[in-house]
Amino acid sequence: MDRKLVGGVVTAAGVALLVLSALADPIGLGEGGGFGWKQTTGVIVGAVVVVVGLALMYVRRGEAKAPQPQA
């Protein structure tokens, strides 16, 4: 599979986790009573997954390109 595609999927999953964690109380998934440790953990893990996904999409692995011949 293409690295950009995998990175995009990982990034989307991280964004989904981050948003669901941050909005757990307003959408009825949280326990209420403020921002708890589970929400904080979800937001942090989601943000880390987003960064990993973006790194997969845009960071090169040290692949050296052949020099282009000059005319």
Distances (CA, A) of 23 to 2, 38, 44, 48: 32, 12, 14, 18
Phi, psi of 53, rounded to the nearest 5 degrees: -65, -45
pLDDT tens, position by position, 6-59: 999 999 999 999 999 999 988 888 777 788 899 999 999 999 999 999 999 998
User: To which residue do tokens 């964004």 refer?
Assistant: 15
For residues 30 and 26, give the distance between their C-alpha atoms in angstroms, rounded to a whole number.
Answer: 8
**What is the reported pLDDT for 31?**
78
For residues 18 and 53, give the distance between their C-alpha atoms in angstroms, rounded to a whole number.
Answer: 13
Token pair of 26, please?
């307003």
